[in-house]
Protein backbone atom coordinates (compact mmCIF):
# COMPACT_ATOMS: atom_id res chain seq x y z
CA UNK A 1 0.00 0.00 0.00
CA UNK A 2 2.82 2.39 0.86
CA UNK A 3 4.56 1.67 -2.45
CA UNK A 4 1.32 2.30 -4.36
CA UNK A 5 0.77 5.60 -2.54
CA UNK A 6 4.28 6.78 -3.40
CA UNK A 7 3.74 5.97 -7.08
CA UNK A 8 0.47 7.92 -7.15
CA UNK A 9 2.08 10.88 -5.41
CA UNK A 10 5.00 10.93 -7.83
CA UNK A 11 2.64 10.89 -10.78
CA UNK A 12 0.67 13.93 -9.61
CA UNK A 13 0.94 16.72 -12.21
CA UNK A 14 2.43 20.13 -11.49
CA UNK A 15 4.22 21.44 -8.43
CA UNK A 16 2.45 21.83 -5.06
CA UNK A 17 1.87 25.31 -3.63
CA UNK A 18 0.75 26.34 -0.15
CA UNK A 19 0.13 30.09 -0.58
CA UNK A 20 0.93 33.11 -2.76
CA UNK A 21 4.43 33.74 -1.40
CA UNK A 22 5.25 30.05 -1.82
CA UNK A 23 4.04 30.22 -5.44
CA UNK A 24 6.21 33.27 -6.19
CA UNK A 25 9.24 31.80 -4.44
CA UNK A 26 9.03 28.50 -6.29
CA UNK A 27 8.62 30.13 -9.71
CA UNK A 28 11.37 32.68 -9.02
CA UNK A 29 13.81 29.86 -8.21
CA UNK A 30 12.93 28.09 -11.46
CA UNK A 31 12.91 31.22 -13.62
CA UNK A 32 16.64 31.34 -14.58
CA UNK A 33 16.41 27.91 -16.21
CA UNK A 34 12.87 28.37 -17.55
CA UNK A 35 14.04 31.44 -19.50
CA UNK A 36 16.33 29.21 -21.55
CA UNK A 37 13.92 26.27 -21.76
CA UNK A 38 15.84 24.19 -19.24
CA UNK A 39 15.17 22.83 -15.75
CA UNK A 40 11.77 21.26 -15.21
CA UNK A 41 10.01 23.59 -17.67
CA UNK A 42 9.19 20.84 -20.18
CA UNK A 43 7.95 18.46 -17.48
CA UNK A 44 5.65 21.13 -16.04
CA UNK A 45 4.14 22.36 -19.31
CA UNK A 46 0.37 21.89 -19.47
CA UNK A 47 -0.82 18.92 -21.50
CA UNK A 48 -3.50 19.09 -24.16
CA UNK A 49 -6.19 18.07 -21.65
CA UNK A 50 -4.97 20.60 -19.11
CA UNK A 51 -5.04 23.35 -21.74
CA UNK A 52 -8.60 22.35 -22.63
CA UNK A 53 -9.56 22.59 -18.95
CA UNK A 54 -7.88 26.00 -18.69
CA UNK A 55 -9.73 27.45 -21.68
CA UNK A 56 -13.04 26.07 -20.42
CA UNK A 57 -12.39 27.64 -17.00
CA UNK A 58 -11.96 31.01 -18.73
CA UNK A 59 -15.14 30.53 -20.83
CA UNK A 60 -13.03 30.43 -23.99
CA UNK A 61 -14.05 28.11 -26.79
CA UNK A 62 -12.65 27.33 -30.21
CA UNK A 63 -11.04 24.37 -31.99
CA UNK A 64 -7.78 26.23 -32.56
CA UNK A 65 -7.18 27.46 -29.01
CA UNK A 66 -5.52 24.30 -27.71
CA UNK A 67 -3.44 23.87 -30.87
CA UNK A 68 -2.27 27.47 -30.61
CA UNK A 69 -1.51 26.99 -26.91
CA UNK A 70 0.60 23.91 -27.57
CA UNK A 71 2.48 25.72 -30.35
CA UNK A 72 3.08 28.74 -28.15
CA UNK A 73 4.65 26.54 -25.49
CA UNK A 74 7.69 26.06 -27.72
CA UNK A 75 8.40 29.80 -27.79
CA UNK A 76 11.05 31.18 -25.45
CA UNK A 77 11.53 34.81 -24.36
CA UNK A 78 14.07 37.19 -25.83
CA UNK A 79 15.56 37.95 -22.41
CA UNK A 80 17.61 35.08 -21.01
CA UNK A 81 18.38 36.70 -17.66
CA UNK A 82 15.93 38.35 -15.30
CA UNK A 83 16.45 39.57 -11.74
CA UNK A 84 12.95 40.01 -10.31
CA UNK A 85 12.43 42.54 -7.52
CA UNK A 86 8.65 42.93 -7.62
CA UNK A 87 5.75 40.73 -8.64
CA UNK A 88 2.06 41.15 -9.28
CA UNK A 89 0.02 37.95 -9.05
CA UNK A 90 -3.24 37.99 -10.98
CA UNK A 91 -5.72 35.30 -10.02
CA UNK A 92 -8.62 34.52 -12.36
CA UNK A 93 -10.43 31.37 -11.32
CA UNK A 94 -7.92 28.52 -11.37
CA UNK A 95 -5.46 30.53 -13.46
CA UNK A 96 -2.65 32.51 -11.87
CA UNK A 97 -0.44 34.84 -13.88
CA UNK A 98 2.79 36.03 -12.28
CA UNK A 99 4.03 39.38 -13.57
CA UNK A 100 7.63 39.78 -12.42
CA UNK A 101 9.38 43.17 -12.72
CA UNK A 102 13.10 43.94 -12.60
CA UNK A 103 14.87 47.23 -11.94
CA UNK A 104 15.52 47.80 -15.65
CA UNK A 105 11.91 48.33 -16.74
CA UNK A 106 11.27 44.78 -17.94
CA UNK A 107 8.37 42.47 -17.17
CA UNK A 108 8.42 38.68 -17.17
CA UNK A 109 5.02 37.00 -17.43
CA UNK A 110 4.55 33.43 -16.20
CA UNK A 111 1.05 31.98 -16.85
CA UNK A 112 0.05 29.07 -14.62
CA UNK A 113 -2.98 26.85 -14.11
CA UNK A 114 -4.04 25.08 -10.91
CA UNK A 115 -4.74 21.43 -11.73
CA UNK A 116 -5.23 20.58 -8.06
CA UNK A 117 -7.83 21.88 -5.62
CA UNK A 118 -8.14 25.03 -3.53
CA UNK A 119 -6.97 23.08 -0.50
CA UNK A 120 -4.16 21.28 -2.33
CA UNK A 121 -3.00 23.52 -5.16
CA UNK A 122 -0.76 22.14 -7.90
CA UNK A 123 0.33 24.33 -10.79
CA UNK A 124 1.37 23.59 -14.35
CA UNK A 125 2.96 26.06 -16.76
CA UNK A 126 0.65 27.19 -19.57
CA UNK A 127 3.48 28.68 -21.64
CA UNK A 128 6.30 31.18 -21.56
CA UNK A 129 7.92 32.77 -19.67
CA UNK A 130 7.37 35.87 -21.80
CA UNK A 131 9.22 39.17 -21.45
CA UNK A 132 8.30 42.72 -22.49
CA UNK A 133 8.36 46.28 -21.16
CA UNK A 134 4.85 46.65 -19.77
CA UNK A 135 4.74 48.55 -16.49
CA UNK A 136 3.19 47.56 -13.20
CA UNK A 137 0.86 50.58 -13.46
CA UNK A 138 -0.54 49.27 -16.75
CA UNK A 139 -1.09 45.83 -15.26
CA UNK A 140 -2.76 47.25 -12.15
CA UNK A 141 -5.20 49.26 -14.27
CA UNK A 142 -5.94 46.26 -16.48
CA UNK A 143 -6.45 44.00 -13.47
CA UNK A 144 -8.80 46.45 -11.77
CA UNK A 145 -10.86 46.79 -14.96
CA UNK A 146 -11.11 43.01 -15.20
CA UNK A 147 -11.89 42.80 -11.46
CA UNK A 148 -9.14 40.22 -11.01
CA UNK A 149 -7.80 39.27 -7.61
CA UNK A 150 -4.39 40.94 -7.34
CA UNK A 151 -1.55 40.25 -4.88
CA UNK A 152 1.63 42.35 -4.77
CA UNK A 153 4.98 41.25 -3.33
CA UNK A 154 8.52 42.59 -3.19
CA UNK A 155 11.85 40.83 -2.83
CA UNK A 156 13.96 42.05 0.09
CA UNK A 157 17.13 40.39 1.36
CA UNK A 158 16.45 37.45 -0.94
CA UNK A 159 12.95 36.76 0.40
CA UNK A 160 9.53 37.57 -1.03
CA UNK A 161 7.02 39.41 1.14
CA UNK A 162 3.52 40.57 0.26
CA UNK A 163 2.66 44.22 0.71
CA UNK A 164 0.28 47.03 -0.23
CA UNK A 165 -0.40 47.72 -3.88
CA UNK A 166 1.83 50.43 -5.37
CA UNK A 167 0.07 53.76 -5.60
CA UNK A 168 -0.37 55.05 -9.16
CA UNK A 169 1.91 57.99 -9.99
CA UNK A 170 0.24 61.41 -9.84
CA UNK A 171 -0.84 62.78 -13.23
CA UNK A 172 1.78 65.02 -14.79
CA UNK A 173 1.28 68.75 -15.20
CA UNK A 174 0.53 68.70 -18.95
CA UNK A 175 -2.00 65.89 -18.64
CA UNK A 176 -3.79 67.65 -15.77
CA UNK A 177 -4.08 70.95 -17.65
CA UNK A 178 -5.28 69.35 -20.89
CA UNK A 179 -7.85 67.27 -19.04
CA UNK A 180 -9.16 70.36 -17.25
CA UNK A 181 -9.42 72.31 -20.52
CA UNK A 182 -11.31 69.52 -22.25
CA UNK A 183 -13.65 69.10 -19.29
CA UNK A 184 -14.58 72.79 -19.40
CA UNK A 185 -14.86 72.79 -23.21
CA UNK A 186 -17.27 69.83 -23.14
CA UNK A 187 -19.39 71.56 -20.49
CA UNK A 188 -19.42 74.84 -22.45
CA UNK A 189 -20.46 73.04 -25.65
CA UNK A 190 -23.34 71.38 -23.82
CA UNK A 191 -24.39 74.72 -22.32
CA UNK A 192 -24.20 76.40 -25.74
CA UNK A 193 -26.41 73.71 -27.31
CA UNK A 194 -29.11 74.53 -24.76
CA UNK A 195 -28.76 78.32 -24.45
CA UNK A 196 -27.17 79.41 -27.78
CA UNK A 197 -24.45 81.10 -25.77
CA UNK A 198 -21.29 80.38 -23.79
CA UNK A 199 -20.97 81.33 -20.13
CA UNK A 200 -18.05 82.76 -18.22
CA UNK A 201 -19.40 81.09 -15.07
CA UNK A 202 -18.03 77.61 -14.45
CA UNK A 203 -20.81 77.03 -11.94
CA UNK A 204 -23.49 77.72 -14.57
CA UNK A 205 -22.02 75.21 -17.00
CA UNK A 206 -21.81 72.59 -14.24
CA UNK A 207 -18.07 72.46 -13.56
CA UNK A 208 -16.64 72.36 -10.05
CA UNK A 209 -13.29 74.15 -10.34
CA UNK A 210 -11.80 72.37 -7.31
CA UNK A 211 -12.34 68.97 -8.96
CA UNK A 212 -10.13 69.82 -11.95
CA UNK A 213 -6.83 69.49 -10.08
CA UNK A 214 -5.64 72.93 -11.20
CA UNK A 215 -4.83 76.06 -9.23
CA UNK A 216 -6.67 78.49 -11.54
CA UNK A 217 -9.49 78.29 -14.09
CA UNK A 218 -11.55 80.90 -15.93
CA UNK A 219 -13.53 81.42 -19.13
CA UNK A 220 -13.55 84.66 -21.16
CA UNK A 221 -16.47 85.14 -23.55
CA UNK A 222 -16.52 87.73 -26.36
CA UNK A 223 -19.28 88.83 -28.75
CA UNK A 224 -23.04 88.55 -28.68
CA UNK A 225 -24.93 85.29 -28.61
CA UNK A 226 -25.18 83.16 -30.62
CA UNK A 227 -22.09 84.44 -32.50
CA UNK A 228 -19.63 84.24 -29.65
CA UNK A 229 -16.04 83.20 -29.10
CA UNK A 230 -14.45 82.12 -25.88
CA UNK A 231 -11.08 81.35 -24.34
CA UNK A 232 -10.67 78.87 -21.51
CA UNK A 233 -7.62 79.39 -19.33
CA UNK A 234 -6.32 76.99 -16.68
CA UNK A 235 -3.19 77.11 -14.60
CA UNK A 236 -1.21 74.80 -12.36
CA UNK A 237 1.22 76.81 -10.28
CA UNK A 238 3.44 78.56 -12.88
CA UNK A 239 2.13 76.58 -15.86
CA UNK A 240 -0.68 78.09 -17.96
CA UNK A 241 -2.65 76.82 -20.96
CA UNK A 242 -5.54 78.17 -23.03
CA UNK A 243 -8.11 76.61 -25.36
CA UNK A 244 -10.66 78.32 -27.61
CA UNK A 245 -14.13 77.18 -28.63
CA UNK A 246 -12.60 75.24 -31.54
CA UNK A 247 -10.49 73.15 -29.21
CA UNK A 248 -7.26 74.83 -30.31
CA UNK A 249 -4.60 74.70 -27.59
CA UNK A 250 -2.12 77.44 -26.66
CA UNK A 251 0.68 77.04 -24.13
CA UNK A 252 1.19 80.34 -22.30
CA UNK A 253 3.46 79.04 -19.55
CA UNK A 254 5.12 75.65 -20.02
CA UNK A 255 5.03 72.91 -17.40
CA UNK A 256 8.31 72.41 -15.54
Instruction: Check whether residue 134 and residue 71 sit in a common domain.
Output: yes
Alpha-carbon distance of 123 to 25, in angstroms, equals 13
For 102-124, what is each residue's pLDDT tens digit?
999 999 999 999 999 989 999 99
Task: Look at residue 11 in the predicted model and tell me its pLDDT.
Answer: 56
Alpha-carbon distance of 195 to 186, in angstroms, equals 14
Instruction: Check whether residue 204 and residue 105 sit in a common domain.
Output: no
Instruction: Check whether residue 146 and residue 210 sit in a common domain.
Output: no
Instruction: Check whether residue 157 and residue 182 sit in a common domain.
Output: no
Task: Look at residue 1 in the predicted model and tell me its pLDDT.
Answer: 47
Query: pTM score, two decimals?
Result: 0.67
Long-range contacts of 188-191 (CB under 8 A, 24+ apart): 188/219, 188/230, 188/232, 188/245
Query: Strand, helix or coil at 228?
Result: strand
- What is the arithmetic mean of pLDDT over 81-103? 95
Task: Look at residue 145 in the predicted model and tell me its pLDDT.
Answer: 67
Q: Is residue 89 part of a domain?
A: yes
**Final residue belonging to a domain, choices 163, 182, 208:** 163
Task: Look at residue 73 in the predicted model and tell me its pLDDT.
Answer: 94
Task: Look at residue 130 in the predicted model and tell me its pLDDT.
Answer: 96
Least Cα distance to 247 among 229, 225, 221 occurs for: 229
Task: Look at residue 9 in the predicted model and tell me its pLDDT.
Answer: 47
Instruction: Check whether residue 65 and residue 98 sit in a common domain.
Output: yes
Spatial neighbors of 9 by CB under 8 A, at least 6 apart, are none
CA distances from 23 to 47, 119, 160, 181, 214 (A): 20, 14, 10, 47, 44
The number of folded domains in the chain is 2
Instruction: Check whether residue 245 and residue 135 sit in a common domain.
Output: no
Contact 243, 231 (CB under 8 A): yes
> Is pLDDT larger for residue 105 or for residue 11?
105
- What is the arithmetic mean of pLDDT over 84-106? 95
Task: Look at residue 166 in the predicted model and tell me its pLDDT.
Answer: 81
Q: Is residue 168 part of a domain?
A: no
| Torsion angle (degrees, nearest 10) of CA 26, 28, 32, 37 | 60
Instruction: Check whether residue 45 and residue 125 sit in a common domain.
Output: yes
Number of H helices, E strands in the chain: 7, 12
For 17-40, what is each residue's pLDDT tens digit?
999 999 999 999 999 999 999 999
Q: Is residue 61 part of a domain?
A: yes
Instruction: Check whether residue 153 and residue 243 sit in a common domain.
Output: no
What band does 4 get if pLDDT is binned at 50, 70 and 90? very low
For 189-229, what is each residue's pLDDT tens digit?
999 999 999 999 999 999 998 899 999 999 999 998 888 99
Host domain of residue 188: 173-253
Task: Look at residue 87 in the predicted model and tell me its pLDDT.
Answer: 97
| Cα radius of gyration (the chain) | 27
Amino acid sequence: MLSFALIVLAAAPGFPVVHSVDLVTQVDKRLPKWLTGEGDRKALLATKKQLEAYFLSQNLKGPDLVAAGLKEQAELPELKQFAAVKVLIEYAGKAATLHFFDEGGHRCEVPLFNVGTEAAQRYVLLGGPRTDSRTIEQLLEQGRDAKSMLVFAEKKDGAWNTGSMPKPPPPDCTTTLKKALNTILTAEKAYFAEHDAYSSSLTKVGVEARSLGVTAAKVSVKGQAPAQTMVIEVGLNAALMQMNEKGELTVVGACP
